[in-house]
Chain A
Amino acid sequence: MRRLALSTTALSIAILSGCSGNESQDPFVSYDKNPYPSTYQASEQMTVLITGATVLDGLGGKLESADVLLENGVIKAVGQGIDVGNAKVIDGTGKYVTPGIIDVHSHLGAYPNPSVESHQDGNEMTHPVTAEVWVEHSVWPQDPGFETARAGGITTLQILPGSANLIGGRSVTLKNVSAHTMQAMKMPDAPYGLKMACGENPKRVYGGRKEAPSTRMGNMAGYRMAWSEATEYKRAWDKYESDYKAGKNVQAPERDFTLDTLVGVLEGDIKIHNHCYKAEEMAMMIDLSKEFGYHAGTFHHAVEAYKIGDLLAENKVCAAMWPDWWGFKMEAYDMIQENAAVVDSYQNSCAVVHSDSDTTIQRLNQEAAKIMFRANENGFDISEEHAISWITSNAAISLGIEDKTGSLQAGKQADVVIWNQSPFSVYAKAEQVFIDGAKVFDVNDPEYQAQSDFLLGQQ
């Protein structure tokens, strides 16, 4: 673990507080937990009434010929016969309305297009534990992929560091608005995530350099050493705080950015997002989380989640899955197309469909559809109002933002997609997309089709 050479007193970001008049105590040392705050503001928030649509509310509900009212940036009402005089009315007859689509696994901005040498900013492949890096510091808001994802109904997305490292760094959750700074996309009050990775990638990257880890057991040892250090570090800070409160003039522990992030997990502020394909590895990662007292969070690329659906549900762990990616590595060999459906079949499960792709993020609805239809061909009975939860409310749970978005409940952020037909059709298109009640995309109106600086003026 790398410590900072600077002493705590020299840190300009230290916030001085708690000077209680006790002459014998130095100022209490604490740090700003939000030094790169969101500056996100919604665009023009409209009062919009979508009428007569088929509404999938994201929580398993389906209403036919229903209205959805957006006002002051939130969902005001969903139901039949809503009448508001001053609302802009959108005729939703024959159309579908869903919550804005959420992708829990994206590298947009960090591995942007064009994916040239200068843009490889997603993996800090210099040490197997780099919890000190924050992927938000790599995000290029001009990635044209944000625009194409928005045209596919993506309103919220988590940007993750890559999977080269055991612990790869912090994620950031963005609202998918056109902006020229990262902070202007950053979703206010969304928890940070921490990327971890199991299996082949870390052991290949570091083993190839004759460094640890080079095996799966080396991976486990690496996580355990990191969490053990974090536990010690937390103890040191807790002791500092309690001694200080007891009136002692104690010296604050030396600050460590790597361990700060891990302690954020131990304290429940940062959610784990763990690239982990295989059943036996996921089972061990659940035990690891219990060994050190944190929640295992979400397993991403959980190709073998179907083998341990019961275990995932018992531990209230989410699994984020593709419909059909397979065969590129041994750990992706045992894919089944019904994976998410099997995981979803257990009580208290949290099945999520993710993309990890700048192209399939544009069609996460089709990804969910493929799973639903393949499962229904093979004995399942999954409805579209249920399957939409995989890319809306369950995704929101995975990110810890389910109180804010991911469903069409009164009071939730007005992140809404109007589809020209059922989003479970290959021919479906997002016609209009709203984020916090502001229209950010309209398939029929170039005024609402943002273009990145990169593509502007190109032939």
Chain B
Amino acid sequence: MKSFKFSLLAASLLASSSAFAASVAIKNATIFTASEKGTLENASIVFEDGVITAVNPATLSADTIIDAKGKFVTPGFISAMNQIGLVEVGAVSTSRDASPKKADITFDPSYGFNPESSLIPFARKAGITRSVVTPFSWGETFHGQAFSVLMNSEFNSIVDTKTAVVVTFGAASKDSRASSILTLIDKLKGQQAKLEKASDDAEKSDKKPSEEEKLLTALLNGEVPLVAGASRASDILHLINIKKDFGVDVIISGGKDAAKVKTQLAEAKVPVMISVLDNLPGNFDSLGAGLTTAGELEKAGVEVMFINTDSHMIHNLRFDAGNAVSYGMSVDGAVAALTSNVAKAFNMDSGVLAKGKPADVVLWSGDPLELSSYAQSVWINGEKVSTEARHDKLRDRYTSKDAKRRGYIKP
């Protein structure tokens, strides 16, 4: 699918796969595969050299066999539409790198990514093993490019750049909402014309395309998805038309009113990223917001993804999924909305527990969507990663019975 490639996947796999050769099996688990196989009871999974080698094999052999005793296994969750690694403290301007002075399609924030951010271990504790990180712009239609990362806090954790182009439509305070759609249509038409001219005029094609032209071509070829922020039903319909008219692989982000146009979304195969719990009409773009949106979209056949745009709070994504189930979504659908649907939308080779896929695996103490459960063990590309964050150190310091002054207690 992805001929347009600046991918670092191969390099990243090579770099991180050398440290572990031993095979691991988890048995007696309820496994949410997030694939067409659905949920498997009393099942097992085996991985080795960073890759899943078997799901539910007839005979189990591995260097380490973990008895899950009926507990749950999911693919690592994939969060999207956040600024993980691009922000440490929201109000500290020097720790914010998601927003350039003037955003446009060429802005690639991956150069600002910090794999050592304290947000990453905190999210990892909640079973998040990958993220699609996005730039954010106030006021510009084009925010720039998304990139994807492993949540393993390693310096080589960027998996892919130019993963998507991010744009926002809808409510605008200093302009008409029409302007942003017109800007997009204008750019796509302009690039179409250039491509036609280039093919008519072959001798002139030695002129190197600009970065913007390359990205627009990739959008027109459906090689890179367009993440389009939009909530009002009428805006969503315009974006469905952009997919139809230009072949752009549109993903709706926000989608507060999406349930109103679920049939059109399903028919056009446009996936939707939603914040499950955003059920209030924040403005006139979101009068259709509600807790049942996820379930309604699922039933209509729309591929749903769950997002939390607050990077510090993505650990709650699994609870958002639990709430989506309360309001009508299937459990498998809710798990897919955190795993396989995200992987599919962003052309990531992960998000399912299937043979040959990267071993992003989480073993849960209980129902992974429940408030009472926690991630007992997390593997990223087959490597077991820490589930301890700075927060845990602070807790341990201040609950320590040690009589020393707190500053000398270093748990």
Footprint of B on A, CB under 8 Å?
A: 113-116, 144-145, 148, 200, 306-307, 324-330, 333-338, 342, 358-359, 362-363, 366, 369-370, 373-374, 377-379, 424-429, 454-455, 458-459
Contacts and interface: CB of A to CB of B under 8 A. Distances in A.
Contacts of B316: 324
Given A114-B282, A426-B326, A359 B371 contact: no
A359 B312 CA distance: 17
Contacts of B87: 327
Given A358-B280, A426-B319, A426-B323, A306 B395 contact: yes
A362 B277 CA distance: 9
B90 A329 contact: yes
A426 B260 CA distance: 26
B127 to A, nearest CB: 14
16 contacts: A113-B280, A114-B281, A325-B312, A328-B90, A342-B399, A359-B279, A359-B280, A363-B277, A366-B319, A366-B371, A369-B371, A369-B372, A373-B372, A426-B319, A427-B325, A454-B281
Interface of B: 87-92, 119, 260, 277-284, 287, 311-313, 315-316, 319, 322-323, 325-326, 369-374, 391-392, 394-395, 398-399, 406
Interface on chain A toward B: helix, strand, loop, or mixed SS? loop
Given A333-B89, A426-B370, A113 B312 contact: no
B280 A148 contact: yes
Contacts of A359: 277-280
A115 B395 contact: no
Contact of B313 (A115, A324, A333): A324
Given A326-B312, A327-B90, A427-B370, 19 more contacts: A114-B284, A144-B280, A144-B281, A145-B280, A328-B91, A329-B90, A330-B91, A335-B391, A337-B395, A342-B395, A366-B371, A369-B372, A373-B371, A373-B373, A377-B374, A378-B392, A425-B372, A428-B326, A459-B287
Contacts of A148: 279-280
A114 B369 CA distance: 30
Nearest to A366: B371
Contacts of B287: 455, 458-459
A23 to B, nearest CB: 63
Contact of A336 (B313, B370, B371, B391): B391
A329 B91 contact: yes
Contacts of B322: 426-427
B51 to A, nearest CB: 31
Chain A CB within 10 Å, residue with most, of B92, B284, B394: B394
B325 A328 contact: no
A363 B315 CA distance: 16
A307 B88 CA distance: 22
Contacts of B392: 336, 378
Given A328-B89, A329-B91, A373-B371, A116 B283 contact: yes
A407 B46 CA distance: 51
B312 A328 contact: yes
Contacts of A325: 312-313
